[in-house]
Amino acid sequence: MIARNRASLRMRTAIAVASTALLCATVAGCGATDDGADLVLEFPSWQADDASFSPWWHELIAEYERQHPGVDIDFYQVPFDSFVAQQTTRFAAGDPADIVHLPAANAVQFAARGWLAPIDDRLAGTDILQEWTPLQQQLSWEGKTYGVLLLGYGYALFYNEDLLAKAGVDVPTSPDELLAAARAVSALPRDSFGFGATTAQNPDNYTELTSFLVGNHASWSDSEGAITATTPEALTALGQYRDVLATAPRGIQSQQRNELFLNGQIGMLIDGPFLLSELDGARPEVKEHLKVAAPPFEVTPGGISNSLHVPADADPEVARAVWEFIELASEPRWQQRYTEVTSVPAPREGSVTEAALRATPELELFGELADNAVDIFPEAADLRRNYGRVGDIVASGAIRLIATSTPVAQVADGLQRDLEGVGDE
């Protein structure tokens, strides 16, 4: 059996990779771990301390360890802002974690570098591909599947019905109505903002701006790989984004945006269903007015949140143990439990139970949005395998729209040029 020391695994997030690799190689021959486990699977995640998702993970891990005596899972927190960079460094150094948890939009980037194991043979013995959301297809690269999606969703409009009523506007159902409502709320005689968004440079700029593109039948590229940042539909979307975000507070990150919304100062924002759990933290006099509706676009933009993977070239025993963990997470009972605990629909068909709907009526809307969602992940192969670079380019373009008076067409030209250059890097 393979022995790992739990303490040494945690140290890997705090010291240099080269020194870490030497330490782990030294420790690996030291015998069983302190708690007697023969095999410890290292599992770093940004959700280990997340109030919405960590309870499900801890329940799942406890069940896995019960079913697999002698195997321990070392589940620990890594900050989201540095997560992808840290895992990239570790993979490049030949020191990946055992259970690979990734923001799903980055999965192809890792697969294209040969860092993830294809799992098609393992999937063939399951019903996952038949029962999963179509967004699972985003984890395929060059005809092979490299992971299992844990959350795919459509974006929703979260709004403060009290602020909209005071502004004399209805819940918007189109981009024009969204802009009119945002301006009306901003004009209220108090410190109110019509719309909430990430207005400091951040990876969230990509998701927020691209939601406007997809909502307007546009995208950054087409299925043939051509960059499409300057199409009439894209120009319309970029203009809408700039106009709506003119009503948003400046220089804030997503958490600050959420805090202002929960404090009753933001009229509307667009986000995934996972925001719903944060509404419980709103001020009591605000919470009763926070509602959710379909996004005000003709097309529902959607996203892929997070996914599980087996590292390439893993020891066969480790690879088998990791797959068995993924397979357990995919079972109907754990998919149903995911929906109950997180209040977002799991990707397996039938995971939204009647009990879950009674507890969280919004799940019906979230399920419909997920079923109809068009993913904001780029289609072009060069953009998919260089997603990190694409996110940086789009975030820079978003900030130009937010913080400068540069004409929309000029911003679009810059995005077109920079995205066309991604494949040459």
Distance from C-alpha of 192 to C-alpha of 198, rounded to nearest angstrom: 16
Would strands 290-293 and 156-160 be described as parallel, antiparallel, or unpaired? antiparallel
Per-residue pLDDT at 28: 36
CA-CA distance, 288 to 274, in Å (whole number)? 18
Which residue's entry shows tokens 């459509």? 154
Q: What is the set of domains in the chain, with CATH numbers?
A: 39-146+304-330 (3.40.190.10), 154-300+379-421 (3.40.190.10)
Specify the pLDDT at position 81: 86
Residues 55, 49: Cα–Cα separation, whole Å: 9
- Tell which phi-psi region holds residue 375, choosing left (phi > 0), alpha (psi between -120 and 50) or beta: beta
- Give the number of other CB atoms < 10 A from CB of residue 331: 15
pLDDT, one tens digit for every residue, the chain (425 residues):
343 333 333 334 333 333 333 333 333 333 344 455 689 999 999 999 998 999 999 999 999 999 999 999 999 999 998 999 999 999 999 999 999 999 999 999 999 999 999 999 999 989 999 999 999 999 999 999 999 999 999 999 999 999 999 999 999 999 999 999 999 999 998 889 999 999 999 889 999 999 999 999 999 999 788 999 999 999 999 999 999 999 999 999 999 999 999 999 999 999 999 999 899 999 999 999 999 999 999 999 999 999 999 999 999 999 999 999 999 999 999 999 999 999 999 999 999 999 999 999 999 999 999 989 999 998 898 999 899 899 999 999 999 999 999 999 999 999 999 999 997 65
Q: What is the pLDDT of residue 54?
A: 97
Q: What's the rounded Cα separation, in Å, for the pair 69 and 92?
A: 32
How far from 80 is each of 102, 105, 164, 422, CA to CA, in Å? 10, 14, 33, 24
The CA distance from 210 to 193, in Å, is 22
Residues with Cβ within 8 Å of residue 293, at least 6 apart in sequence = 156, 157, 159, 171, 365
Q: Cα torsion for 293, 296, 301, 302, to the nearest 10°?
A: -10
CB neighbour list of residue 99: distance below 8 Å, 6 or more residues apart: 41, 42, 43, 73, 308, 322, 325
